[in-house]
Structure 1
Amino acid sequence: MKVGLRLFQVSLWIVVGVLGSVGGGAFPAMAQEEPGSDEGLALSDVLEAQPDDLQPALSAPSAEIPQLHELEQPATTIEDWVAQIEASLVQITNVRVEATDTGLQVILETENGVLEVPETQSVGNALIADIPNATIAEEFSQAEPIDGIALMSVSRLPGGRVRVAITGTDAPPVAEVRTEAQGLVLAVTLGDADAVTEEDAIQVVVIGEQDEGYNPSSASTATRTDTPLRDIPQSIQVIPQRVIEDQGVTGLQDAVRNNAPGVTTSANYAGTGQGEFIIRGFQQNNNFRNGFRAGRFGYIADLADVERIEVLRGPASVLFGQLQPGGIVNLVTEQPLSEPTYNIEFTGGQFSFYRPELDFSGPLTENGELLYRLNVAYQNAGSFRDEVNSERFFIAPVLQWNISENTTLTVDFSYLYNDPVFDRGLVALSDGSLVLPINRFLGYPSLDDYIEEQVRAGYRFEHRFNENWELRNAFSFSSVLQTGFHSDFAGRLIDDRFVPREYLDSEFLNEEYGLQTDLIGRFSTGSLQHQLLAGFDLNRSTDSYVSRFAPLPPLDIFDPNYDVSTPSETESGYFQTVFNNNLGIYIQDQITVLENLKLLVGGRLDFTEQEQNFFGEEGSQSDTAFSPRIGIVYQPIEPISLYASFSQSFFPVIGRSRTNETFRPERGTQYEIGVRADITDNLSATLAAYDITKTNVLTTDLNDPNFSIQVGEQRSQGIELTLTGEILPGWNIYAGYTYTDARVTEDNDIPEGDILRSVPEHGANLWTTYEIQTGNFRGLGFGLGLIFVDEREAELPNSNFQVPGYVRTDVALFYQRERWRAAINIRNLFDVEYYETAQNRNAVYPGAPLNVTASLSYTF
């Protein structure tokens, strides 16, 4: 562990060095005198001198050569660096709008420096001009400056840019841009009235504003409403598409592990990228997609159509029903765009990896009533693991019908086919050691015919009655099928050398049906302002599993022989079917007491029914549970939000006690406090502390060991810190740290104090990029990532087997100009041997060694 911490410290120094070198190359640190000035010879003259000219320069009197103390020194503090960066940007000090005979002119005044003449584009009926290498002292906005212009605004964008947006009432305006002594002038005339409608323009402007880079300001998972993060009294982390793209990630597990410290996976189910997430110490049995249950541990998520990933930490039963108390991961998918947009991308790399991908979107009708989006991806890859490869195909079309100004209907569908080699990873010896090379395959590849298919379909209907009330109704269906024969483990390691294997022909089917209806209203009662959410959802899930098996020869882990014949006969194995029905009725009120004081009060009543057939033995039970949440947010000053909250969760426990009574649901209770600080407009930090207790945990009944009793208790306490956004123009950061103490506090079998499985005590991540903003290398960027995961217990009760901690370093180089983007991503730069997770000592999943991928994309 000391070695891991030392590597982490070394990697941090690398960050400082890389960013320092980038800063030194991109930002002027010395004052250079103009050639020919009376003050003496400029430094640039010496550097640019030809050999014949060098001697006179060197022989010049010392008074004519600038001395070190006369040069402006490089920045030595962050404050100095910020000052230098801001000084390099041309500042717009004033915006003047004047009516003319043909329209209006917009004058952007500056004190020092000349603004670059930007290119303009029409988006809907809005004229957009993005000015590079600029900033503005105070953002400007004016509604209806003249007839025919609905809105005119000048705003600051990330990356040292300023956007001028002029929205026409009936058509996109036209502008001639020129530089004059008074500043940059946009001479605007009204456009052709046969363009798009005002409603379309408003939608386009909103979409543009939602591109917030590394620092999204709002999320929907925590409240089912689009609520600013600063107003949510619970920790929620948003992983935006920009971060995922810069890291070159294509799988859900990698995206979450890279960016949500402390969140691990319980497994990597046979190398397929599946596995349930462990959040705040507790294993979650469901992932979510657009607010619907997307499947259990068998869920594979391709990120081709994902806009962002929202990680809600803490109990979520108040809106999502039966769940473990640690939190949930919700994927928010891309939606159709009102302007034609086409993107194609190809990625290739080590281990025979290649992946073409396309993303097309736009209107299907001239009036824009019908919009579409289509995401398609194909992936074929080998592996650093012997005998292992995979193939995947994914397609996701979306259709949106804008029925009227206030009514939309969106229909979506997706299909995923995945064909991997079933790979259970490595094994640990009886003393807990991991001695096998990470490429060793411990199965029989000739017996592999395992595949997975996922089908998803649904709709979302939204209707606004007026500005204050709206109705949402949505339906989702998902089917996850895993089938085919393969070799699997059949027991623990024998004599620390032979791993038992069996031939397994199985079929697992998970089907999820979900129906949600929400009514959202905004109103006032006296001085209190309310945003009310009331609704219900219906969920039905079916899990069925059936298998047949045959014994196989044990495999020698040190000298494997993969030559084996297919068994001619199989025996009946496991059989189980579980039906789960749930009705949830919920209400939530977001109350603005004062401008800087907000309350969140909500509750949900759930009615659940479970039916199961286990080897022909049928059983059923029903439960009722109420899950409350109360939170308060206080903002002493505008950039700071202090919050505190109380929330509960529930999760049904199937079975009966010694007295033939059904078990009560497990209950989770959390207390959380935190602070969110908007350090700048583009940089935010969040600090949270929590305490979760889970009760009604099953343990052995001491009066009869053949039965269980609900006296077990588990507790998790911790601290979480995140920092996201843009530090300086072009310099982004996405970082976090977590401390988690998750233990058994009461149990009849497990010793009190044992650490919960796969939970690191410490976890940290850092991903930072810098993109050059000006000059010939504008658009060239660099990225550096550090991931630290502490040692984890692999079994409960704890044993002599722990998964070692590690520090992994990733780097990236990218270049984007106009419609092109090229990138090289190197993962595990220092070729560290590490293990991502362990299901138990018989299934340990190693991480990949150093590997390189390159991608090229084009948008048109």
Structure 2
Amino acid sequence: MSRFLSSSQPINVLLPPARRLAMATLLLSCPLAAQAQDDAAQTDTVVVTATALKVAMPLAETPRSVSSVSREELDERNVQSLDETFRYRSGVLSGHFGADNNTDWLKVRGFDQATYLNGLRLYSPGYYQWTPEPYGLESVDVFKGPASILYGEAPSGGIVNAVSKRPTAEKRGEIEIQAGNRNHRQFGIDTSGPVTESGDVRYRFVGLYKERDGDLNDTDNERVYFAPSLEWDISDDTQLTLLASYQKDDGTPENPFKLAYGTLEDTPYGKVDPETNYGASDYDKDEHTQFGIGYEFQHQLDDTWKFEQNFRYSHLDLDLRSTYLMSYRNDDRTAYRGHLQRDGEIDSFTIDNRMVGKWYTERTENTLLFGVDYQDLSLDGKEYDNYTYDTVDIFNPDTTATPVPDSQLIGRQIDKQQLGVYVQDQLRIDDRWVLLGSVRHDSADVKNTNQDTDVTVDETQSKTSFSGGLMYLGDNGVSPYLSYTESFRPQAQTDAQGAVFEEIEGKQWEAGVKYAPSS
């Protein structure tokens, strides 16, 4: 839960752990309702998430490996980027390429992750990275292992699902000011509450401005972010939530890669300062804009069935120039420097339709989910890659670079449409056993066009995925489980000989034990 303070509370100073950057946080409050203060002081002993099963279910009763990071923990650790979220979760490696101001580096069980926002896919092909702002999130979940059964395209390691802040029934407000090392400055505002006297319409507005220097000399990033949302109880059985966000980053990209020569190894000229930037800071740039708008709709049809629909349209615009150290030239002082450039945009929309039925007998509770989702992605851009673009003096690097002529930029177009149909059934017997079974079929049409070589790869790839699980719920909070899951990732790339890569599939058996101590 976010830090919402009443006007009678003292100013709160947040001191993150020593390994994190030193940063002071000052919270100035707005007048709040008494109930908001009471709610903020409460902590739940049971974490409920919909990431694993697409229906709300306590993590301790889910026969799959899922970890969740709450808003409270994001605040306590002062998380500044998505890849900082899971630094204290098993099976997740984050920030493995060092600090980066335009990419979230995460690996789940050894594989690159797929990122979702509110259960819908965020596309990040190549350097076109959608980077969620942590200040606008209520929680972040990580599903470990193959997850195609409910989400379609997914790597074998798992997925990350970020959940946006939502409107609240009670009036709340927060103003946050931060200052810290590396010229970190941040101003945030988070306000929400009812719009109407009856409370059937509620709003929330989250806004943020922050800027900060990078770990390397002459690198920085400036961000503007705001996310309005509106929730409307159309009737007792029907609810609509509108969600939107806008984020603009402008900075100098950070490439922390160094050679062993001059860092680990001694040289006739000494060693290199760890903050040395081998990029061309006078030339490099990273202009990144992303915005999305969508909704979540749900309608209770009767005592058994509920219809749910999620939709989001997303747009990402990127203009990136980045130079980086590549390889040693074996002449004591110089190294090759690579150069990449991306200038293009992504348009995508995703829709997920679900029917959820729940019914009971004397000994059982049954939850049936079936749905249809559709994903559409279009990328249109220009790119350039040269791993020996120029040379740089390791001990006295030049901050300039020669611009790449437009004639050398290669046009790239990627189009993808994917349709998925899935069914999942969860059976709970005698409040002791949980049985889970799922099946999904995906069909993906992916087209990748390289305008320089005039080569187009157009592939239709399909896959039927299966999943199952069994869990025993012990009286002492110890619950062993066994699960099987599969994953599927369509491909539209070729090797050097022009052969098309096949889709990537993953399979996993997992046995484990969950422990949920009583409160």
TM over 0.5: yes
Classify the secondary structure of the residue corresponding to 2:275.
coil
Q: Secondary structure at the match of 1:647?
A: strand
Q: Which of 642, 646, 652 is 2:484 aligned to?
A: 646
Q: Which residue identity is paired with 2:225?
A: F
Match status 1:555 vs 2:383 = no
Alignment of 1:686-705 (within 5 A): none
Answer yes or no: is 1:600 the counterpart of 2:442: no
Determine whether 1:512 maps to 2:512: no
Give the alignment's Cα RMSD to 1 decimal.
2.9
Deviation string, structure 1 residues 712-736 (Cα, Å, up to 9, x no partner): xxxxxxxxxxxxxxxxxxxxxxxxx
Note if 1:629 corresponds to 2:467: yes
CA radius of gyration, larger in? 1
Distance 1:596 1:472, change over 3 A: same
The verdict on how the C-alpha distance between 1:209 and 1:236 changes in structure 2, with shifts beyond 3 A counting, is farther
SS at match of 1:318: helix
User: What's the CA shift string for 1:733-777, capped at 9, x where partnerless?
Assistant: xxxxxxxxxxxxxxxxxxxxxxxxxxxxxxxxxxxxxxxxxxxxx
Which TM-score applies when normalising by structure 1?
0.52
2:187 to 332, 352, 356: 356
Give 2:323's aligned residue.
488
Could you tell me how far 1:323 is from its partner in structure 2? 1.4
1:540 aligns to what? 376
Alignment partners' CA distance in 1, 2:492 and 2:123 = 19
CA distance in 1 between counterparts of 2:95 and 2:447 reads 26
1:453 is matched by which residue type in structure 2?
A: T
TM-score by length of 2: 0.84
Is the CA contact 1:499–1:556 (under 8 Å) kept in the aligned structure 2?
yes
What do the CA deviations read for 1:407-431 (whole angstroms, capped 9, x no partner)? 1111111000111212212322379
Partner of 1:57: none
Q: What residue identity is the alignment partner of 1:443?
A: G
- Secondary structure of the 1:253 match is helix
Measure how far apart 1:270 and its partner are: 8.5
Give the Cα separation in 2 of the matches to 1:569 and 1:606. 42
**Map of 1:49-88 to 2, 5 A cutoff?**
none
CA contact (8 A) 2:447 2:492 kept: no
What is the deviation of 1:335? Answer: 0.8
Q: CA–CA distance in 2 between the matches of 1:487 and 1:291? A: 32
Alpha-carbon distance in structure 1 between the residues aligned to 2:108 and 2:403: 41
What code does the residue aligned with 2:328 have? L
Partners of 2:513 and 2:232 lie apart in 1 by 41
Match of residue 79 from structure 1? none
**Partner SS for 1:521:** strand
Aligned to 1:378: 209
2:75 to 236, 245, 250: 245
Q: 1:395, 1:416 within 8 Å by CA — same for their partners in 2?
A: yes
Which of the pair is proportionally richer in helix? 1
What is the CA distance between 1:438 and its match in structure 2? 1.9
Percent of residue pairs bearing the same amino acid type: 24
Q: CA deviation at 1:455?
A: 0.7
Q: How far 1:327 sits from its partner (Å)?
A: 0.7
The equivalent of 1:254 in structure 2 is 84
1:548–1:571 Cα contact (<8 Å) kept: no
Match of 2:508 in 1: 670
Alpha-carbon contact 2:217-2:275 (below 8 Å) kept: yes
Q: How many residues are aligned here?
A: 476
Residue type at the aligned position of 1:237:
S
CA distance in 2, matches of 1:575, 1:565: 22
Q: Distance in 1 between matches of 2:338 and 2:487?
A: 39
Letter of the 1:586 partner, please give it.
Answer: Y
- Counterpart Cα distance in 1 of 2:154 and 2:357: 27
CA distance in 2 between counterparts of 1:341 and 1:583 reads 40
SS at match of 2:408: strand
Looking at structure 1, the residues matched to 293 and 262 of structure 2 have their Cα atoms a distance apart, in angstroms, of 48
Query: Does structure 2 conserve the Cα–Cα contact (< 8 Å) formed by 1:549 and 1:572?
Result: no
2:417 to 569, 574, 581: 581
Deviates more, 1:604-613 or 1:654-663: 654-663
Give the superposition deviation at 1:568. 8.4
> How far apart are residue 502 of structure 1 and its match?
5.9
Rounded to whole Å, the distance in 1 between the matches of 2:95 and 2:433 is: 39
Structure scoring higher RCO (CA < 8 A, sep ≥ 6) equals 2
Structure 1 window deviating more from structure 2 (402-411 vs 547-556): it is 547-556
Partner secondary structure for residue 449 of structure 2 = strand
1:443 matched to 2:273? The reply is: no
CA, structure 1 residues 487+596, in 2 after alignment: closer, same or farther (shift >3 Å)? closer
Cα displacement (A) at 1:490: 7.9
2:458 corresponds to which residue? 620
Over residues 515-540 of structure 1, what are the superposed CA-to-partner deviations in whole Å (9 max), with x where a residue is unaligned? 01011011246844210111110001
Q: Is the 8 A contact 1:426 1:436 kept in 2?
A: no
Shift of 1:228: 1.0
CA distance in 1, matches of 2:338, 2:506: 39
Decide whether aligned partners of structure 1 residues 395 and 269 sit closer, same or farther in structure 2, where only a CA change above 3 A counts.
farther
SS at match of 2:85: helix
Deviation readout 1:207-266 (Å, 9 max, x if unpaired): x499536x552111000010011211111101111111111222111122x222341248
Q: Choose from 285, 299, 303 the match for 2:134.
A: 303
Deviation at 1:452, TM superposition (A): 0.4
SS in 2 for 1:492: strand
Instruction: Determine helix, strand or coil for the equivalent of 1:365.
Output: coil
Task: Decide whether aligned partners of structure 1 residues 358 and 266 sit closer, same or farther in structure 2, where only a CA change above 3 A counts.
Answer: closer
Partner of residue 227, structure 1: 57
Task: Give the letter for the 1:555 counterpart.
Answer: V
Counterpart for residue 238 of structure 2: 407
Corresponding residue SS for 1:304: helix
Residue 608 (structure 1) shift: 0.9
The residue identity in structure 2 corresponding to 1:561 is D
Shift of 1:658: 11
Task: Please tell me whether the aligned partners of residues 443 and 555 of structure 1 are also in contact (alpha carbons under 8 angstroms).
Answer: no
Q: Which runs of 5+ in 1 are unaligned?
A: 1-14, 16-120, 131-207, 682-860
Cα contact 1:468–1:523 (8 A) shared by 2: yes
What is the Cα deviation at residue 513 of structure 1? 1.1
Q: In structure 2, list runs of 5 or more residues that go unmatched.
A: 1-16, 18-32, 266-270
